[in-house]
Amino acid sequence: MNVIEKQSGAAFKLKNGQKLKVIDPQGEQVSDMVLFNAEDTREKISSGKTLDFEENILITRGDHLWSNRSNKMMEILEDTNGRNDFLLAPCSPETFKIMYGNSDYHPSCFENLYTNLAKFDIEPDDIPTAFNIFMNVQFQPDGKLSVDPPMSKAGDHVIFKAKMDLIVGLTACSAEDSNGGSFKPIHYEILD
Ligand SMILES: [Zn+2]
């Protein structure tokens, strides 16, 4: 069991066929995940390709996460909560300036992704839209979006199976509105 402390992140390799279990240990905590092909990091997870090929904006068990080169990167084997977001970008310093009116330093998924992924030569501009595990984005028929508290309960988890050798970036999200107003850790396990 690996622990991502609140408002922090991790990056690691996952081999083709290995499984990644991402756990919300306390409930109501989002985890942003980005994926890169370990052999060529110009290939990375794509929200656009995934929503297109899965013909759905709510990605869950049975769906795949697709790359910008239209290859399957992961399959979702289990999803005990069932609500994830793949529309919104990782929270960043600018998120807190623009949406929260806070110009002071604030931890963010964007910073926690690029600092942890730097050891794989991945740069800030390489970070794509993340798959936001447990994130509860609701939308109205007119397209209006709202970020509501996650519906995940303590112990909810998602199991992903790698479909190629991957570099994975994973966070415990730092945005107040995405996490019901408080920050919690995220746990993960790599299963063979
Ligand atoms: Zn975040």
Q: What is the pLDDT of residues 142-162, one digit of tens each?
A: 999 999 999 999 999 999 999
Q: How far apart are CA 82 and CA 133, in angstroms?
A: 9
Residue type, position 137, single letter: V
CA of residue 74 to ligand 1 center, whole Å: 21
Query: What pLDDT does 83 receive?
Result: 98
SS3 of residue 11 by DSSP: strand
Tell me, in angstroms, the distance from the centre of ligand 1 to residue 78's CA: 23
Cα(135) to centroid(ligand 1), Å: 9
Beta carbons of 183 and 7 less than 8 angstroms apart: yes
Kindly give the interhelix angle for 93-100 and 109-117, rounded to the nearest 10 degrees. Answer: 170
Report CA(109)–ligand 1 centroid distance (Å).
4
Please give the pLDDT value at position 63: 98
Report d(CA 188, CA 186) in Å as an integer: 7
- Neighbour tally for 52: CB within 10 Å: 12
Candidates 25, 34, 45; CA nearest to 157 is 25
Q: For 58-117, how does the pLDDT look when each residue is reduced to its tens digit (9 = 90+)?
A: 999 999 999 999 999 999 999 999 999 999 999 999 999 999 999 899 999 999 999 999
Mean pLDDT of the region 2-26: 98
Q: Is the pTM of this model over 0.95?
A: yes
Tell how far the Cα of 174 is from the centroid of ligand 1, in angstroms.
5
Expressed in angstroms and rounded, the spacing between residue 108 Cα and the centre of ligand 1 is 6
> Percent of the chain at pLDDT above 70?
100
Cα distance from N-terminal residue to C-terminal residue, the chain: 13
Residues 6+ apart with CB under 8 A from 134: 24, 28, 29, 30, 31, 81, 83, 84, 150, 151, 152, 156, 158
The CA 26 to ligand 1 mean position distance, Å, reads: 17
Calculate how far, in angstroms, residue 71's C-alpha sits from the geometric centre of ligand 1: 26
Q: Which residues of 145-183 are buried (b: 16+ CB within 10 A; e: fewer)?
A: eebeebebeeebbbbbbbbbebbbbbbbbbbbebbbeeb
90 CA from centroid of ligand 1 (Å): 5
Dihedral of alpha carbons 97, 31, 86, 156, sign: negative
Residue 141 confidence class, pLDDT cut points 50, 70, 90: very high
Segment 20-31 mean pLDDT? 98
